Amino acid sequence: MFWVGLTAAAGILFAEMIAGRLVILSLLAAIWPGILFLGIAVITKNVGCGDGIALILLGLMSGQRLCQAAFMAGLLINSLFGIAVLILKKARKNTCIPFLPFLTMGWVIVEGFQFGRL
Protein backbone atom coordinates (compact mmCIF):
# COMPACT_ATOMS: atom_id res chain seq x y z
CA MET A 1 0.00 0.00 0.00
CA PHE A 2 2.81 2.38 0.87
CA TRP A 3 4.57 1.95 -2.48
CA VAL A 4 1.33 2.37 -4.42
CA GLY A 5 0.65 5.65 -2.61
CA LEU A 6 4.22 6.82 -3.11
CA THR A 7 4.07 6.02 -6.83
CA ALA A 8 0.74 7.84 -7.19
CA ALA A 9 2.12 10.87 -5.33
CA ALA A 10 5.20 10.93 -7.57
CA GLY A 11 3.00 10.79 -10.67
CA ILE A 12 0.85 13.67 -9.47
CA LEU A 13 3.95 15.73 -8.62
CA PHE A 14 5.44 15.02 -12.05
CA ALA A 15 2.21 16.08 -13.80
CA GLU A 16 2.06 19.30 -11.76
CA MET A 17 5.70 20.02 -12.52
CA ILE A 18 5.14 19.60 -16.26
CA ALA A 19 2.05 21.83 -16.13
CA GLY A 20 4.06 24.52 -14.31
CA ARG A 21 1.72 24.70 -11.31
CA LEU A 22 4.09 23.24 -8.72
CA VAL A 23 4.77 25.68 -5.89
CA ILE A 24 6.67 24.15 -3.00
CA LEU A 25 5.00 26.11 -0.18
CA SER A 26 1.48 25.35 -1.40
CA LEU A 27 2.50 21.73 -1.86
CA LEU A 28 3.73 21.49 1.72
CA ALA A 29 0.59 23.18 3.01
CA ALA A 30 -1.58 20.73 1.07
CA ILE A 31 0.12 17.60 2.38
CA TRP A 32 0.75 18.54 6.03
CA PRO A 33 -2.22 16.55 7.41
CA GLY A 34 -0.93 13.42 5.68
CA ILE A 35 2.61 14.01 6.91
CA LEU A 36 1.21 14.52 10.41
CA PHE A 37 -0.67 11.22 10.23
CA LEU A 38 2.35 9.35 8.87
CA GLY A 39 4.48 10.77 11.69
CA ILE A 40 1.92 9.69 14.29
CA ALA A 41 1.71 6.24 12.66
CA VAL A 42 5.47 5.77 12.82
CA ILE A 43 5.82 7.04 16.40
CA THR A 44 2.79 5.50 18.12
CA LYS A 45 1.77 2.57 15.87
CA ASN A 46 -1.88 3.49 16.71
CA VAL A 47 -2.73 5.18 13.40
CA GLY A 48 -2.51 3.38 10.08
CA CYS A 49 -0.12 4.49 7.38
CA GLY A 50 -2.94 4.21 4.83
CA ASP A 51 -4.72 7.19 6.40
CA GLY A 52 -1.62 9.33 6.00
CA ILE A 53 -1.08 8.22 2.42
CA ALA A 54 -4.72 8.93 1.58
CA LEU A 55 -4.42 12.42 3.09
CA ILE A 56 -1.24 13.14 1.15
CA LEU A 57 -2.89 12.05 -2.10
CA LEU A 58 -6.01 14.06 -1.28
CA GLY A 59 -3.87 17.13 -0.67
CA LEU A 60 -1.95 16.65 -3.90
CA MET A 61 -5.10 16.20 -5.96
CA SER A 62 -7.47 18.65 -4.27
CA GLY A 63 -5.28 21.36 -2.83
CA GLN A 64 -4.71 22.84 0.59
CA ARG A 65 -8.14 24.17 1.52
CA LEU A 66 -10.15 21.15 0.45
CA CYS A 67 -7.70 18.70 2.05
CA GLN A 68 -7.64 20.53 5.37
CA ALA A 69 -11.41 21.02 5.39
CA ALA A 70 -11.99 17.33 4.59
CA PHE A 71 -9.49 16.38 7.31
CA MET A 72 -11.30 18.49 9.91
CA ALA A 73 -14.74 17.30 8.79
CA GLY A 74 -13.51 13.70 8.95
CA LEU A 75 -12.17 14.24 12.47
CA LEU A 76 -15.46 15.78 13.56
CA ILE A 77 -17.56 12.96 12.09
CA ASN A 78 -15.19 10.35 13.55
CA SER A 79 -15.37 11.86 17.02
CA LEU A 80 -19.17 12.11 16.91
CA PHE A 81 -19.34 8.47 15.83
CA GLY A 82 -16.95 7.46 18.61
CA ILE A 83 -18.99 9.29 21.24
CA ALA A 84 -22.21 7.69 19.96
CA VAL A 85 -20.68 4.22 20.01
CA LEU A 86 -19.41 4.75 23.56
CA ILE A 87 -22.78 6.07 24.77
CA LEU A 88 -24.61 3.12 23.21
CA LYS A 89 -22.05 0.78 24.80
CA LYS A 90 -21.26 -0.87 21.46
CA ALA A 91 -17.53 -0.36 21.96
CA ARG A 92 -14.95 0.28 24.65
CA LYS A 93 -12.41 3.05 25.05
CA ASN A 94 -9.66 1.02 23.38
CA THR A 95 -11.72 0.00 20.33
CA CYS A 96 -10.04 0.92 17.04
CA ILE A 97 -12.19 2.92 14.63
CA PRO A 98 -10.82 3.30 11.09
CA PHE A 99 -10.45 6.90 9.93
CA LEU A 100 -10.57 6.50 6.14
CA PRO A 101 -14.38 6.06 5.87
CA PHE A 102 -14.86 9.26 7.89
CA LEU A 103 -12.26 11.08 5.81
CA THR A 104 -14.19 10.02 2.72
CA MET A 105 -17.45 11.30 4.23
CA GLY A 106 -15.77 14.57 5.14
CA TRP A 107 -14.40 14.92 1.61
CA VAL A 108 -17.82 14.26 0.06
CA ILE A 109 -19.46 16.82 2.35
CA VAL A 110 -16.82 19.49 1.74
CA GLU A 111 -16.82 18.82 -2.00
CA GLY A 112 -20.61 19.02 -2.05
CA PHE A 113 -20.60 22.37 -0.24
CA GLN A 114 -17.88 23.68 -2.53
CA PHE A 115 -19.94 23.03 -5.65
CA GLY A 116 -23.27 23.96 -4.04
CA ARG A 117 -24.74 20.48 -4.22
CA LEU A 118 -25.48 20.14 -0.51
Question: How far apart, in whole angstroms, are the C-alpha atoms of residue 25 and residue 3?
Answer: 24
pLDDT at 114 over 80: no
Domain range for residue 71? 2-114
* Amino acid 74: pLDDT: 93
- More confident: 72 or 37: 72
- More confident: 88 or 118: 88
The share of the chain scoring above pLDDT 70, in percent, equals 79
Number of domains in the chain: 1
pTM given for the model: 0.74
HSE-CB at 49 with a 13 A cutoff on CA atoms is 8
Tens digit of each residue's pLDDT (9 = 90 or more) over 75-102: 999 999 999 998 998 888 788 888 899 9
